[in-house]
Structure 1
Amino acid sequence: MTRALIVIDMQRGFDDLDFWGPTANPDCEANVAALVAAWSASAEPVVVVRHDSVSPESPLHPGKPGNALVDVVAEVSPALFVTKNVNSAFYGDPDLHAWLVAQGIGELVICGIQTNMCVETTARMAGNLGYDVTVVLDATRTFDLTGDAAGLGTVTRTAGELMATTALVLQGGGFARIATTAEVVG
């Protein structure tokens, strides 16, 4: 079974902590770099996904410098480059699922930002579409989140708690296996 590395939203705008708030996993970019290097060395396909926010205030808006990919990902010559403005890479342009099917790819290894948003949504959809999915948790990161949880009042979760919850839900729900960079490249 052919596999592909899906690198999601590794964009400079996520370094704007004044906008996003506290984050976890400072090793994310280095771990993504290790995965990209391993895939490049084995000549396996790398899919790069970029979030083009429709919100003019977002650092990820196409008119802002934060829309740019981080250097380690910008230097990749991807087999496919997908742009999206929603959480799932399967609702981007071009059609990721159609491309994967045409290439005979059945196994996906997913990394990137944000763990509990675009990475998790893409992994859930991939699992539902029948792909064999691995999420490389230490090659993802996210940000603290506070919001009104209907009936529960205001709830706050740290980035670390959100990453752990995503891992638990994806693996426990049968959507994806959770692995480390060392396990995947070793």
Structure 2
Amino acid sequence: MSESCVLLIIDMQQGMSWPQAGERNNTNAEHEIAELLAHWRANHAPIVHVRHLSTEPDSLFWPEQEGALFQEAFQPLASEKVIEKSVPDAFTYSNLEAWLREQAIQRLLVVGVSTNNSVESTVRSAGNLGFNVYVVASACFAFAKQDFGGRERSAEEVHSMSLANLHGEYATVISQDEAFALLPE
């Protein structure tokens, strides 16, 4: 297998930055993702952009709406792979697994939103499919959410619990500096 590591950027769409999306954590996540994107591009490493296109007409991510568009800082280049999805998991109903295997890519660096939804779902699948997965804790974010018992949970609590769900079983949760070290110079 190749030593290459793909940067997988999940759902960095305009709607994620709107107030309607909710109270979030990691307000510096976009900056960290942009730094990783610049590093991967400078090193001509593989990049995959994932975009959620909802099947619900009232969603911020309904196709052809501004909320579904990529944020300006995360516009894919023509040479970069784009995966469109209508469910949280980027592997379901897409050619992502086949493309990664065709490229002989075994390592994935996952960033984006939301930690407890599309990031967690995609990372779980990637881990179950045998990929070596890394998640940058500070380059993902979540939104405040009520737990099953009805207790309000902060965005940081939701984020931290999701990372705990992933670390060690499906992925390795790492820092930004550790992420840069994954890409050989």
Same fold (TM > 0.5): yes
Tell me the CA shift for residue 20 of structure 1.
2.3
Amino acid corresponding to residue 11 of structure 2 in structure 1:
D
Amino acid corresponding to residue 140 of structure 2 in structure 1:
T
Tell me the CA shift for residue 50 of structure 1.
0.3
Q: What stretches of structure 2 of length at least 5 have no aligned partner? A: none
Which secondary structure state, in structure 2, belongs to the residue aligned with residue 47 of structure 1? Answer: strand
1:78/1:89 Cα in 2 relative to 1: closer, same or farther (>3 Å)? farther
Query: 2:49·2:76 contact (CA, 8 Å) conserved in 1?
Result: no
The aligned runs of 1:1-186 (5 Å cut-off) are 1-17=3-19, 19-93=20-94, 95-146=95-146, 149=148, 153-172=149-168, 174-185=169-180
Tell me the CA shift for residue 101 of structure 1.
0.4
- Distance, in Å, in 2 between the alignment partners of 1:144 and 1:77 is 35
Which secondary structure state, in structure 1, belongs to the residue aligned with residue 140 of structure 2? Answer: strand
Query: 2:52·2:85 contact (CA, 8 Å) conserved in 1?
Result: yes
Amino acid corresponding to residue 84 of structure 1 in structure 2:
K
- Distance, in Å, in 1 between the alignment partners of 2:97 and 2:41 is 22
Which secondary structure state, in structure 1, belongs to the residue aligned with residue 91 of structure 2? Answer: helix
- Distance, in Å, in 2 between the alignment partners of 1:72 and 1:78 is 16
Tell me the CA shift for residue 154 of structure 1.
1.1
Amino acid corresponding to residue 81 of structure 2 in structure 1:
L
| Percent of residue pairs bearing the same amino acid type | 34
Tell me the CA shift for residue 124 of structure 1.
0.7
Amino acid corresponding to residue 179 of structure 2 in structure 1:
V
- TM-score normalized by structure 1? 0.91
Which secondary structure state, in structure 2, belongs to the residue aligned with residue 72 of structure 1? Answer: helix
1:107/1:145 Cα in 2 relative to 1: closer, same or farther (>3 Å)? same
Deviations 1:79-114 (A, max 9, x none): 311000000010144x10000000000000000010
- Distance, in Å, in 2 between the alignment partners of 1:176 and 1:75 is 25
Q: Which runs of 4+ in 1 moved over 4 A?
A: none
State the aligned residue count.
Answer: 179
Tell me the CA shift for residue 75 of structure 1.
5.0
Deviations 1:94-144 (A, max 9, x none): x10000000000000000010110001111110000000000111111110
1:31/1:76 Cα in 2 relative to 1: closer, same or farther (>3 Å)? farther
Query: 1:13·1:65 contact (CA, 8 Å) conserved in 2?
Result: yes
Amino acid corresponding to residue 57 of structure 1 in structure 2:
D
Query: 1:48·1:78 contact (CA, 8 Å) conserved in 2?
Result: no
Structure ranking higher in strand proportion: 1
Q: What stretches of structure 1 of length at least 5 have no aligned partner? A: none
1:9/1:78 Cα in 2 relative to 1: closer, same or farther (>3 Å)? farther
